[in-house]
Every structure is written in structure tokens, then in C-alpha cells.
Structure 1
Amino acid sequence: MNWEVLVVGGGKIGRMVAVILQNAPEFNVTIADADEKMLAEVAALGIATQKVDVGNEAELLSALDGKNAVLSAAPYFLTPAIATAAKKAGANYFDLTEDVKSTKFVMELAKDAKSAFMPQCGLAPGFVGIAGYHLAKQFDSIEDLSMRVGALPRYPTNALKYNLTWSTEGLVNEYCNPCEALVDGKLKEVAPLENLENFSLDGIDYEAFNTSGGLGTLCDTLAGRAQNVSYRSIRYPGHRDILNILLNDLKLNKRQDLMCEIFENGLPRTRQDQVTVFCTATGMIDGQFEERSFVNVSTSMEVAGRDWSAIQITTAAGVTAAMDLMRQGRLPNEGFVRQEQIDLEEFLANRFGALYLGKPFETRGATPKAA
């Protein structure tokens, strides 16, 4: 069965999702946005567009008519409006948000829904939950599960050693909000920017610290099985200390709009990025205390004839693989669906999930390669 998909939000991630789906014969996709300039840029990619004001429920419901699924690639504060419209329209709902409050709203909506609601389907939350749960399932009991993700410039030059690669609002939001974690077997809120750790991977030094939203629903899933579960963002050393000055000492955590403006004006964007997923678990396996890890590094690459950044690829691959698996009947088609319900091996075997392994999928109309 072919799926008609509405992507709300024509930014960098939304258009990457649309290009992936449009190049698969089982999907037809339309991007909805209120920004006419952005819609023109999307149309130049050969993607169908529709001007929609998300604040106008009638417009949004009209755009959802006949759609099998909707993806919110819009800012996190628009999640409730888009999810509510999806429920009324009977469309399967997906989003990429790291915002905990918005996700709890979606969970409530999903309780009596006749369609599926699967939020937090991107990179983190999203793929990291699949990878983390893959490790967790190997243990009889889990002492610690540490999940770390970094979307980083390959060639850092400024003091923050950082470039903008995705939503600035989402970035600042995860730096400022409380973080969920399992601590000694109990669900707790821990402060952002805390629990700083330093480590090396392939000869490069990194730091990691608490940020909000990356765990998705994994704490609930592992409650009673794991003692400690945490999520941290990976950065180059020194990044956290500068953030601490800006957000806490200068109180910009109370002016997130200004913090976004500072980042937008002062930090250049880059497509020369890499995404690192680094998960480590310790616990008991067959009576022995063991440690196991999962590492995946993705870089920018060409997809469907265009160059895309690593953060675009990994975020878009997360949600498109989830959509594809649901379309195939491999995930529930009603109620709340957790990202970790996807098996890691099945995810990576999926044509879209395989983008994490640097494998471009066969695009619509492509000439088959000779054996």
C-alpha cells in the first residue's frame, strides 16, 4: 500500500525527509509551511507544496485530508496543534521533537487513538533509543546504560568548537530544560549541563554532559531492569564551560529567544559535519559483570543526487525508516508507539535506516546497477 505523507515544516530536516520519501515508489509526499520563500525552495527540489498556517486548524485539517501520515518537522511548540489535528484526521503521527512536555501531550492523545502516534523519531531521541535498547536487551540486569550523541563540525574553528547543524530552538531548548534519568533505579530529573565527562574516541578528545529529551521513553521502558540510565550530548572540550557562563552566569536560560538570536548571528552553519552515537552498558550476563558498547559515526554524503549534512541524513533516516516499517505492518498502527520497539538490526536493514551505515538507497527511477 502506498502512503500519502504530509510533512509540516520545510526546513533543512523537513526537506531531507521529503526528498527521501519522494524517491521511494511507495510514498507520495507534500510539504506544508506558511513561509512562501521556503515553499519555493522546496518546490525547486521537485516536491509538492501547500501553504498552511498551523495555527489555523481548518487549514491544517484540510491539508491532512486523505493522508496516511503526518510528520511534524516544525518547532517543538507547534507539536500539540499538529498532533491534535492528526488525531482528528485519523492520520498516523510522527515527530522529531526533543521536548519532554510536548511528548507527554502526544502520549495522552494516543491513549484512545485509532491511528499510531510515534513521536521523537529522529536521532536523539530516536535512533539512540533503538541502539541503547539493543544493548540493554543483551543483559540479564543493567547497572549503567550511558547514551551519548553529538552532531559536530568536522573542522571546528571558534571558541565553542561548534557550528549550527539543526534547529537552533531545539538546541537551546535541550540546553535549558531538566533532563530525565534513571538514578539508582528511580526516575529523576537532573540538571542540564551537569555530569560532565571526558573521553576519547578514535584518538579525538570529547566531552559529554546532560541535555534534555534525548532518552525519549527509554527510562519508562527500562524501569525495574536498569539502575542507571543517562543521556548526554557530545561536544569538543570546553564547549560546556562557555555554555555555563552564557546560560547560568549571564541568565540567558531565562531568555532563550535571545540565546537563539546570539547563536544564529554568531555561529555559522556547516554541511561538513559528523554525527557520533556512542552507547555503553554494564551489567550482568550469565552471572558475569560485563561491558558492551555500540558506536556509529555518520558523515555528510550524497543522497538522491544532492549533498546533505550528517545531521540531516541521520535525523531523516530515523523517521523515514519508522514510517516504512509501519507501512509494512512491522509496527503497531494505533496508539502510542515507542522508538525502541524497533529492532536495531531491522532498522539498519531497512533501505532508509541503512543511511546510518553510509549506504544510499535505490531512488525512484534509478537505473539498476550491474551485478
Structure 2
Amino acid sequence: MRSLDEELTDLADHYRWFAQVEAAPVSPRYAELAAAVAEDAEVLAFLGTLPRPKRQANLLLGALQYLHGGPPADGAQLRERVTGDADRLRATMLARATQTNEAARCAALLPVLAGLPGPLALIEVGASAGLCLYPDRYGYDHSGARVGPPSTVQLRCTVTGRGPVPTEVPRVVRRAGIDLNPLDPADPDDVAWLQALIWPGMDERRDRLTAAAAIAAREPAEIRRGDLVEQLPGLVAAMPAEATVVVFHTAVLAYLPAAAKQAFAELVAGLPVRWVSQEGVGVLPAVRERLPEPPAPEEARFLLALDGEPLAYTAAHGGRIDWLPAAAGLAGVR
């Protein structure tokens, strides 16, 4: 068994990695704060009292934003908030999970969904508040190709390569999801938690989340509480017979143990559904192995795949599609 000192050394390394690789390119404030945590024995000791899955940087920094209405100004204020408000912080981190719900990811999903025979019944696993279940309620601009209804959520996406170009949004007749801890887009406290998970410097994402949550609140989707492997077969069976059932997920499977990821992939492959995945490159090895060229070791983009066939690299929080050669075989290619 590893000692606590060894665990905290690894934890400090995690926060340094998060600061340098994850946060630095997009949120200097979070990069500064994470780097400060890595060097702060008191904060690391607090994190050491939590279960390992609850020590991650996104959860700590999100909880601090949630409890105090914004991020700490610097490492000194972060330490003050952690040590001076430890009980509330611990309770929040134990009760909550990182459930980033980014509607902009629909910009990458749309070209694939629009090419499937409709109408569609959408099932999102790891749905959080379900904001990605409304691709037909948002407006889009894919490098000048505009589609979608007038909407308070307008998604811009830079596109490279030859891939499908949507000419209309799909008709969705049922939307449902599965999550261990579903969030309610009509609950101000749940929306506040989602807002707190958005990193400093990303005001556009915060405004978009507010608008998308309002859309979802007006047309609630069914989000079932439970394990995705256990709940999925019954939910698929409940979908309308005339619809193409689409199971999809974005940035979800990375949080599962390897055995659970394998069980899910085997399950979905055996169901009468189309499967759209948008995950980190290494999350689904069987998808990664079908890439035409091996990905770079530092590849930070996601892989968009249909039924296990990789079609594009996409930006983690939406805004970019880089089509792979396999996408040229889909209908409506530009």
C-alpha cells in the first residue's frame, strides 16, 4: 500500500500537469491557482483527506467558485478559502461531481446526426443537465454554412477537410439521458454548479450555458438516474419504434474504469442503435486503432466517431471540426 506522502507527491504532480497542459493555454488564472496548489502543503493535506476520485483540480477549483461566487484571486486566497472553509468545501466536493455540460459540442455532433435517417430519438449517457440533447434547438455556422432555427444559442464552428455539411437540423421526437447524478436545468442551484465548472476567462461559455439551460428547462428531457450500462437497454427499448435511436456521449467515458468502458462499448455495439462518441483520443482504444495515422502523443483534441469509425478530430469544448478521410464517404460532403 502506498503511503499518504507518496499519494500527495503524485497529487502535486497532477496539479502541476493540469496547470501546464490543461489550463495554461486557455485559462491563465486556473493555471496560476493549480500551480499554487502543487506547492502548498496545507492545501495538499486537505485534498489528502478526500477519496482519490475527489481530489481532481477541476472539482476543487469548481467548488471554490461555487461557494464563493468566483475563483480565488491568487494562491494565498485559495489557501485561505480552503483552510477557513474546509467543512463546507469538503461537503461540496463529496456531494458534487465534475459535470461540464457544454452545448457547443453539438456543433460537432450535428453533421453526423443530420445525416442519419429521421426522425431521431436521442439518448445521451452521462447527460448531466442534458444540454447536448437539443441539437435541433440551436443555430449553427459551420465555416459559413448556416443552419438551424432562430435561437438564443448560436454555435460557430471552424471546419477543415471534407465532411458532411448539414442543410437542416434533424427532427427529434424523443430525448432522454442517463446520469449518476442528474442535474435539473430549471433548478438555479444546479445551474450555478454548472456555471462554477466553467473556467475563468470563458465568459462566452458561461452566457451560452445560461441560454441553453433556459431552452432545456422549457422542454424537459427524461434523465434517468443510474449506471449507464444498467439503464441503457431499458431506455433504448422505450424509444419510439419509428425513430432511429442514437446513443451518444461527449467527454464521459474517461471517468469510467477500463472494465466499465469495455462493458459499455460491447453493450452499445449489440443494441439496435447508432452510436456517436466524442471522447479523448485514448479513451476508446478500439476507435483510436482505426485512425488512418497514429495520433500525436500530446493530442488534446477529441475523436468524433460513428459506430466506432473515427470521422474527425474535434475541439474539447466545441468550435472546431477537422474531418478525417473516412468522413468523405458520408452524405452531403462539401
TM-score, normalising length: structure 2: 0.29
More helix by share: 2
More strand by share: 1
